[in-house]
Each structure stands twice: as structure tokens, then as C-alpha cells.
Amino acid sequence: MVRDTIFVVRLAVAGVASAGTYGIQVWSAFKARPVTPVVHNFFHGSFQPQKKEERI
């Protein structure tokens, strides 16, 4: 019974270590990507009506 518990604990520690290594690799790749400008879909300035709004 104790051997099974120790095995499960070791397996869990190995899983956490693997997940941490993978997380560090993903974070490094994320930080190394080129910076792209952020595009917002909001109107800048006054509202420009389209034909649909002009008919109303």
C-alpha cells in the first residue's frame, strides 16, 4: 500500500515537472514572437453612416 502511494506521488511530481518544462517553452516562444500592432474594431472620430443608416 505504501509503495503504491509513493509511486503515485512520484508520478504526480514527474507530471508537474513535465508540465512546468512545457509551460516554460511555450512562454519563451510567446515572448519571442514579433510584436504586431493591436487593431481595435471601434470607430475613431465621428460616425460615418452607411447607406442603410441614411435611409432610416
Domain count, the chain: 1
> Is pLDDT at 2 greater than 60 in this prediction?
yes
Domain that holds residue 28: 1-34
Residue 6 covered by a domain: yes
- pLDDT at residue 37, rounded to an integer: 81
| Distance, CA of 11 to CA of 22 (rounded, Å) | 16
pLDDT digits (tens, 9 = 90+) for 24-52: 999 999 999 888 887 766 656 666 666 66
Residue 19 covered by a domain: yes
Residue 9 covered by a domain: yes
> E strand or H helix at 29, and its extent?
helix 2-32
Q: Please, what sign has the CA dihedral across residues 18, 22, 25, 27?
A: negative
Q: Which phi and psi angles does 43 have, rounded to 5°?
A: -75, 135
Residue 40 covered by a domain: no
